[in-house]
Chain A
Amino acid sequence: MTRRFYFAAVLLAVWSCGDPVHDTRVDALGGEKSGVPTGPTHRSGQPCLTCHGGQGPADLELSVAGTIYQTAAPDSPPLEGATVTVFDATQLADGGAPRTAVTNAAGNFSFRRTEWAPVYPLHDISVTFPGVAAPTTMHTTVGRDGSCASCHVDPKGPATHGHVYLVLEPADLPGAMP
């Protein structure tokens, strides 16, 4: 009797050490898209740190990551070759030395935690692209979440700002964009 009780208690303790909330968040993102290899170009538009934030399932730990699209349209293609600039709390927007990353063919960019573990809040985040006059700058600070897609998911709503884009309309894109 008592032995069975202890056994149950141990099982319960083991079970409650996993993080069901985290597991649910990972599961909600679904499987890999067919034809896209698991790697730097996968899962564009998703909150990368849900899996790459240190709690698994991915081994590679990222500190800040996301996806940039060409325009604000919900069906916009991704933007390759954009520079994402991020300041952390140790860097003044005026004169500080921000971190930059360039987006790949899927519009994805990322910073590995081993190369940069930023001090929050992040601020003055911007996206630039050759041939586009002004950077698209975010005014809001980021308090704790390194995934752009935690706040930038479609459709736009009270608690989301839609995906991150360079320009509003295709007509504003520089010359020969696809």
Chain B
Amino acid sequence: MTKRIAFLIGLALALAVACGGPPDDARVGVVTPDPAQFPPVSLLLDHRCGSLDCHGARTRNLQVYGCEGLRLGTATPGCRNASGTDTTAEEHDATFRSLVALEPAVMTSVVQGKGQNPELLTFVRKARGTESHKGGTLVTPGDDQDICMTSWLAGAVDKNACARALAAPVTAR
């Protein structure tokens, strides 16, 4: 009997703790890489990560929007060459927000460190396959795709690397 009472008190305490927390209007800040430089990276993410059965699904933590997958607003399905609308500014922005919100504190420290140690970010490790990833190993450190992402994190996106990466054939590693 006393055991049960102790249990109930414990439960009430646990609930009280779980319901407490930061005030409703608290914000966790994030220092992000430059959103204006993001579109070439976003197009690559859409191409390599954003198919509707992968990060083009609303159920994923990292959500990628664009004309090769999930659309937003009034954009019609498919890129222009498939009689749809090319990726819109609104879609670049939505992908940007999803990406920087994954690990705000880590993103902040990578950006403040001028892109040193990008592998602190889970999305970089997953793309490189150094962390378990259903989509497999997609990039190799130092290849065009990797440079596209990490140059943006470092503050000056390498557009040429992004363009080459976008045009590269899809192969297994």
Chain A residues at the B interface, C-beta cutoff of 8 Å: 87-90, 92-94, 119-121, 123-124, 138-145, 150-151, 156-162, 168
Min distance, Cβ B43 to any Cβ of chain A, angstroms? 12
Q: How many residues of chain B get a CB closer than 8 Å to chain A's CBs?
A: 29
A124 to B169, CA, bound (A): 10
A141 to B53, CA, bound (A): 10
Residues in A with CB closer than 8 Å to B76 are: 156
With A158-B71, A168-B83 as known contacts, state yes or no: A92 contacts B171, CB within 8 Å: yes
Find the A residue at minimum CB distance from B136.
A120
A45 to B134, CA, bound (A): 27
Find the A residue at minimum CB distance from B170.
A123
Min distance, Cβ A138 to any Cβ of chain B, angstroms? 8
Residues in A with CB closer than 8 Å to B72 are: 158
Interface string of B46-76 (1 = CB under 8 A from A): 0110011110111000000000111110011
Chain B residues at the A interface, C-beta cutoff of 8 Å: 47-48, 51-54, 56-58, 68-72, 75-79, 81-83, 134-136, 169-172
* In contact, A158 and B70 (Cβ under 8 angstroms): yes
Min distance, Cβ A48 to any Cβ of chain B, angstroms? 14
A88 to B58, CA, bound (A): 25
Q: Which of A139, A143, A160 has the most CB of B within 10 A?
A: A143
* In contact, B53 and A145 (Cβ under 8 angstroms): yes
